[in-house]
Chains A and B, each alone.
Chain A
Amino acid sequence: MLGLVFVVSLMLEIIPGDPVLLMLSETASREMKEAVRHQLGLDKPFMQRYFNYLGKIMQGDLGRSFLKGQKVAKLVGNAFPATAELAAASLFVMMLVGLPIGVLSALFPQSKVDFFAQMISLIGVSMPAFWIGLLLIYAFAYRLGLFPLGGRSGVTSLILPACSLSMSSVGFLMRIVRVSMLEVMSKEFITTARSKGLSEATVVWKHGLRNATIPIITVLGLQFGRLLGGAVVTEVVFSWPGMGRLIVEGILDRDYPLVQGAILVFGFVFVVINLLIDISYSIVDPRVRYD
């Protein structure tokens, strides 16, 4: 996390352009510019600013946005729930579509279902996220009028962005589910379960999928992180007031504290997600505890 803050601070340091000039008008006097620069702490050396910032983070202070004037923690706090909501909804869509199709494709390898799944997967990973978003807006908002064009106003406004964001991840999940299930379904305990006379549904969903879960959970966790980060384009296309848009605005306006704070929160969420994935391993597979 410390390294992440350092790298982001360093990158922002080398970005050309002076935030003070963006805040003040062209006609502002030199003294005024110097005063603002001093007030923002930009007249201090880079390393001093970096350590000051670290000290503030320890106290829960992410600084104050140069241009918006509000506390970064407040801005991020307002935007993060929107992005988390979008990522969670996308994860739900991803599981709803990717899991059953992946399982079916593993149960009937080299069949039409398998071919169909592979096609969906290929198209999903090959489509640009912004294009899917625009196509969905055209079809379901303009032509059919079923959903709003953009913004965040209830469940209906969440469906199109969630479908758009989950598209590439669905294909990825399908492939992982297929590979894991193919491996598990050839194991001896599956033959034993069948020989005991269990129904095929119980064999597949209870014995097969449960044992294929670990790689699937890893992918779901990693994809959730990816969805959080990849929401930038979807948020721009659907005017979704989330972290992605906040970071884009921050980068374009050279609003250093805003970008630093937002990326720090992203980094923290990634770490927490990885921790949750590790914990969940021992829940779904008790053998992991003894390893």
Chain B
Amino acid sequence: MRIFQLRARVMRIAKRFYGRPMVIFGASIVLLLVIVAVFAPHLAPFDPLEQDLLNRRSPPCLRHPFGTDIYGRDMLSRIIFGSRVSLAVGAISVLIGFLAGGLCGLLAGYYGGILDDLIMRVMDLLLALPSLILAMVVITALGPSLLNAMIAIGVWFAPNYARLARSSALSVRQKEFVEAARAIGCSNFRIIIHHILPNSLPSLIVYSTLNIGTAFLMEATLSFLGLGVQPPTPSWGAMVNEGRAYLQMAPHLVTIPGLVIMLAVAGFNTLGEGLRDILDPRSGFGFQ
């Protein structure tokens, strides 16, 4: 019976996807990106770290469709492997923000009082700092690396998740089913995990899809400033930074990776917005 219900729900959601070209466009880009990242070693025509110093900054040609970079490395292969970095940063930084901010928000909203004030004031402080500067301070404290870039971006996401989870928890904690759970003797932990969290999840998940695109941009920006992924690991932002000095002679070093970043971010943004419309709990298509 449950399988039929699930199937009916999936069909209803699929119907909503149908007729929305932008959402399909976003979903296709995201799917393509995931496939490219997973099968990168099979899809890349060259080793992304293999240098060919006699063939530096070569413009796009049949052998190198995206050209070669300042060390003669194949740009297409670096972009294919760079998708792994971007997806990893997008997924893990959003997860860090989701877990840290979401948990703080749920606790603040459920317990209220001093705990609420304390948590939310700290979150307000983090929000008061310009995003990039906060991320830079965190990275400088921890040292520039891929993992630390993920932590920095996650820390920046956390306050927004906290706000979202708190507002959701505030509205749910007054509901009858929470009262009922309390009346039958459920612990606070159980109520938060089994009753409050499932009701906050749809909005948090949709917000996460929108954030992945932002995480891509943030990672690219940090790598551009030399604070993210360190060479020679391929990263789209770092590729733009490397090509920056040769903008006049070899514009493809800047234009191609930038275009890829833009497409990837646009894909996640359109998919996220489409999901937000489709999975809006008020429209009856939520996870509940």
A271 CB, nearest partner CB in chain B, Å: 9
Q: How far is the CA of A8 from the CA of B241 in the complex (A)?
A: 28
A117 at interface by CB-CB < 8 Å: no
- Using a CB-CB cutoff of 8 Å, which residues 198-240 of chain B contact chain A? 213, 217, 220-221, 224-225, 237, 240
Q: Does A42 contact B (CB under 8 A)?
A: no
B141 touches A (CB below 8 Å): yes
Chain B 103-139 interface mask (CB, 8 Å, partner A; 1/0): 0000000000000000001000110111111001110
Q: Is B65 an interface residue (CB 8 A)?
A: no
Asked whether B262 lies within 8 Å of A128 as measured between CB atoms, the reply is: yes
Question: Do A135 and B255 touch (CB < 8 A)?
Answer: yes
Residues on the A chain within 8 Å of B237, using CB: 128, 130
Which residues of A have CB within 8 Å of B126?
7
- Complex CA gap A60/B65 in Å reads 58
- Residues from chain A with a CB closer than 8 A to the CB of B128 are 4, 267, 270
Nearest chain B CB to A148's CB is how many angstroms away? 14
When the two chains form their complex, are residues A127 and B262 in contact, meaning their CB atoms are under 8 A apart? yes
Q: Which residues of chain B in 245-259 are interfacial with respect to chain A, using CB atoms and an 8 Å cutoff?
A: 247-248, 251, 254-255, 258
CA distance A125 to B210 in the complex (A): 12
Q: Are B143 and A16 interface neighbours, CB within 8 A? A: yes
CA distance A137 to B240 in the complex (A): 14
Asked if B140 and A15 make an inter-chain contact with CB atoms under 8 angstroms apart, the answer reads yes
| Residue from the set B141, B251, B269 with the largest chain A CB neighbour count within 10 Å | B141
CB distance from A122 to the nearest CB of B (A): 6
Chain B contributes a number of interface residues (CB within 8 A of A) equal to 38
Given the known inter-chain contacts A14-B141, A142-B247, A236-B225, please indicate yes or no for A128 contacting B258, CB distance below 8 A. Answer: yes
On whether the beta carbons of B224 and A8 are closer than 8 Å, the reply is no
Whether B133 and A232, one on each chain, are in contact in the complex, defined by CB atoms closer than 8 angstroms, is: yes
The residue on B at minimum CB distance from A132 is B258
Q: Is B265 an interface residue (CB 8 A)?
A: yes
CB-contact partner of B132 in A3, A233, A252, under 8 A: A233
Whether A182 is near chain B, meaning CB under 8 Å from some CB there, is no
- The distance in angstroms between the C-alpha atoms of A236 and B237, with both chains bound, is 14
Considering only CB atoms, which chain A residue lies closest to B265 in the complex? A126
| B interface with A by C-beta (< 8 Å) | 121, 125-126, 128-133, 136-138, 140-141, 143, 213, 217, 220-221, 224-225, 237, 240-241, 244, 247-248, 251, 254-255, 258, 261-263, 265-266, 269-270
